[in-house]
Amino acid sequence: MTFTITSEVSDAHPPPSPCTELTSADAAARQVGAGCLRDGPVGRVGLEIEAHCFDLTDPTRRPGWDELTATIAGLPPLPGGSRVTVEPGGAVELSGPPLAGPLAAIDAMVGDRIVLCAAFAGAGFGLVSLGADPLRPPQRVNPGARYRAMEAFFAASGTPAAGAAMMTSTASVQVNLDAGPRDGWADRVRLAHALGPTMIAITANSPLLSGENPGWQSARQRVWSHLDSARCGPVLGENGEDPASDWARYAMKAPVMLVNHADADAEPVPDWVPFADWAEGRVALGGRRPTAADLDYHLTTLFPPVRPRQWLEIRYLDSVPDTIWPAVAFTLVTLLDDPTATELAAEATEPVATAWDQAAHIGLADPRLQESAQRCVRAAAERAPAELAESMQRLVRSVEQGRCPADDFRDRAARHGIAPAVTQLARGEL
């Protein structure tokens, strides 16, 4: 999702040219901090939904790049204006534009998913909303140079299995929100993080990964936890009072993943080189110091659960079924944008604000997480419009029963087998 951004930099201090060489880590940190959040009102919402693509006749086969791109090329116009992309492992993503409020964003995404799923079904494929591929081993099908380089980076840096699974076997629902007024940034970013464990427990939907049962409700989150925390861990500093400075420090400490070259593909950096060391000239990656463009690219290789990109990208939700993702999206937006619900959410999540692994491991079986989840979804349900009543009722009922989507898929797979269960979902069978 791309917001239209009004520059926060005055004419007297214009942003650096992409080719401008950075002279120090401090200069790089100032560039990061100055551009990470945009001062303004809240209200706009953008949604991104990923789904695994399966062959309806052979769910163990991963559709190839040419098949996927041909199907996308034949799509009719999408009524909600979403952009369609293919993830490294062939998952298909819809990225919606920022719209005024959660209902508009949800309506647009529902319409686009109907068109997308129908087109893929016509081509013999089904799109399955699970947080992790329960059946197939990791395999990259997107030939993009960036993904080849990322694959090489993870292999060289000691996390080949987790890196491959993250790139090719996971899928999510992402919610993008305005950063809000500057004087509220600290509280807003803290709450976006504090909601993480509760929302992970609510949406955990990846009990199986590549035919194996890792014993987690969200194998997707488990995969992310095996990657280095300097790149994938939460951004929050010691007290979260200055999100811009926290993000700048995070970016400077994070190791450089890839170096771009003018006449060649991106080059992976297998050694641990914090961006600060490159900017200070301690290491000359690619035989040179970094530019402003290198710094911007570095930021795209950082994957924290809440990422500031002038707006807030909330990245910790598993992909969940069409029956409940509208309620999930509405709940998260409401808890962050509605002032009264925000106060309730801050209080409800405080006891479990750092229980990331517990939420991914056992989900709502943890009594504290279930209590937090019940309070949060009830607050959202009280504010939900009639159009979302059915989806909200399903979500509230599941939370009250202490069940997350992973429980439903695990039950289906136990009854029918993993491959038949996947095929049923690919065919749209509830």
- CA torsion, ordered 161, 163, 165, 171, to nearest 10 deg: 170
**C-alpha angle 172-2-346 in degrees, rounded to nearest 5:** 55
d(CA 323, CA 316): 19
Residue 7 lies in a domain: no
d(CA 170, CA 133): 6
- Per-residue pLDDT tens for 260-294? 887 778 889 989 999 999 999 999 999 999 999 99
| Residue appearing with tokens 């309620």 | 327
| Residue appearing with tokens 């509208």 | 326
d(CA 123, CA 131): 23
* Cα→Cα distances 106→12, 103, 315, Å: 41, 5, 17
Q: Which residues have C-beta within 8 Å of that of residue 385, sequence separation ≥ 6?
A: 103
Q: Which residues have C-beta within 8 Å of that of residue 301, sequence separation ≥ 6?
A: 150, 231, 257, 258
Coil, strand or helix at 263 = coil
- Nearest to 51, CA basis, from 79, 89, 105: 89
CB 96 within 8 A of CB 105: yes
pLDDT, one tens digit for every residue, the chain (430 residues): 333 223 333 333 445 567 788 999 999 999 999 989 999 999 999 999 999 999 999 999 999 999 999 999 999 999 999 999 999 999 999 999 999 999 999 999 999 999 999 999 999 999 999 999 999 999 999 999 999 999 999 998 889 999 999 999 999 999 999 999 999 999 999 999 999 999 999 999 999 999 999 999 999 999 999 998 999 999 976 677 899 999 999 999 999 999 988 777 888 998 999 999 999 999 999 999 999 999 999 999 999 999 999 999 999 999 999 999 999 999 999 999 999 999 999 999 999 999 999 999 999 999 999 999 999 999 999 999 999 999 999 999 999 999 999 999 999 999 999 999 999 999 999 8
Q: Where are the alpha helices (DSSP H) in 210-291?
A: 219-225, 229-232, 243-253, 275-279
β-sheet bridge partners, residue 308: 312
How many Cβ atoms from other residues are within 10 Å of residue 168's Cβ? 25
* Cα→Cα distances 125→90, 118, 331, Å: 12, 9, 31
Residue 15 lies in a domain: no
Q: Where are the alpha helices (DSSP H) in 36-101?
A: 65-73
Angle between helices 325-337 and 339-349 (to 10 degrees): 100
d(CA 386, CA 67): 39
Residue 9 lies in a domain: no
CB 218 within 8 A of CB 205: yes
CB 375 within 8 A of CB 344: yes
The tally of CA atoms less than 13 A away on the side-chain side of residue 310 is: 16
Read off the CATH number of the domain in which 162 is found.
3.30.590.20
Residue 382 per-residue DSSP state = H
* Cα→Cα distances 259→22, 155, 167, 272, 278, Å: 15, 16, 19, 13, 11
How many Cβ atoms from other residues are within 10 Å of residue 148's Cβ? 16
How many Cβ atoms from other residues are within 10 Å of residue 414's Cβ? 10
Read off the amino acid at residue 313: E
For the chain, how many structural domains are there in total? 1
Residue 255 lies in a domain: yes
| Residue appearing with tokens 């997350």 | 404
pTM of the model: 0.94
**Residue span of the structural domain in which 183 resides:** 25-427
β-sheet bridge partners, residue 249: none
The encoded tokens of residue 297 equal 């690219």
